[in-house]
Structure 1
Amino acid sequence: MKVLLIGATGGTGREILPRLLAAGHCVKAPARRPEAVVTVHENLQIVAGSVLDPDLIDQAMQGQDAVMSAFGPRSLKASDVQEVLMRNILDSMKRHDVRRFVNLSAWGAQESHKRINIMQTVLQGLLLRNIFADKKRGENLLFASNIDYVNVCPGRLLNKSPRGGVRASIDGSGISHSMTRADLAEWMVGQLTSDSWLRQSPVIGYDKGRGATTSNYPSSS
């Protein structure tokens, strides 16, 4: 599969990229600083430029089978970058008839995700309020589209070795509030070829109260 990867130089994107390539996908990755992409592979094409440039997105979209976005803003200030990026991606997917989209969201980004803990509630309501407001506007565009999306909602992300045993549910019931970026990346890559969560926003993490189990991608509860 030919996959356009948005956010390849971010913390999660750096975990996703080698897993896409290991799974046999051909990857096109826009990057404002191409030198920040440390992976080298015959099936990887780096496109120099900003992912907020609609012309660059449209050019990169040509010939692709799917899009995966791990984009995350780096400022806490009020912004519309996530909304603008989502609009550019969806418009370009429509023009080029690209159907599959795996998008990285966050636990609590939408009203249906009620099972966030007190710390998450405080962070999202105060420190991260601008980021989550922008994310919600962008995802409203996604939900109104007719593409085959999976909007992935993890909790706190850890830079640790993979554990495996990822679970998913719509409301987050019985799922831990943190997971490794490595396990998140593996699960997201699995959604490119799975129809289990199409047009849904699964909360993902580990089984609360139980130890890690053997990796199972994609996995659902």
Structure 2
Amino acid sequence: MQSALSTDALSSGSVTNLRQEEIVIALLSHCRSMKRQETRFRLATGFMLLVGFVVICFLPHLKRMSTSDEAGMGAQGVSLAQAQHDPRPKQEPGFRLIPIRPHPNNTTPMQWRNPTNRQTVKSLRIPTDGLYFVSLRMSYRIPDQFCEQEGAFEYLSTVVMKSKKTYPKDQKVVSSLDTMTCTYPNHKSVYTGRFIPLTANDELKVMVYTKYELIDWYRDGVSFDVFLF
């Protein structure tokens, strides 16, 4: 009788041990499965975040590229259609004018040359309403034997003015004021720009209130750019 009870107890203990091992194996298998699912979820989340980051970074650039194909600018006789159908490749959106050098009269707007048709202009006419980025780069240098007082400061001032047919007075939209030490052969470049809402037929012109001898016309460091956004 005692032997039978001992055998039953052993059998019961073996069954219990087997069930515990099965439970442990099942738990381990479940943990592995959950871990694989968690890894897949992390990979999927990371991929979605990467795609979202790429879209956010490159969508404005693609939008500007598509806009540049439609945006053109005119300058005194140059129409928007002419700017759009110019067969030469356009590497930048908007319009750029190059200066006619030198410009000794500081009381009149700077004269520029339209690189498209080589026409001389004093202002840039806006073809359509929109938000524009207007920028002006001026380069300066101290010529030899120019300084009356070595080490004195020379003031460098330029202003972009906007004129409208419906408004009698010009408005200042972009301005730059800087200084440089009068020491030969000092060089300096000043860049200024800002976003400005403009309407069709607005005209932009550049006034320079700096001694024209200081402007470095011969380094291609003077440019007037307008970009439509």
Larger radius of gyration: 2
TM-score, normalised to structure 1, is: 0.26
TM-score, normalised to structure 2, is: 0.26
More strand by share: 2
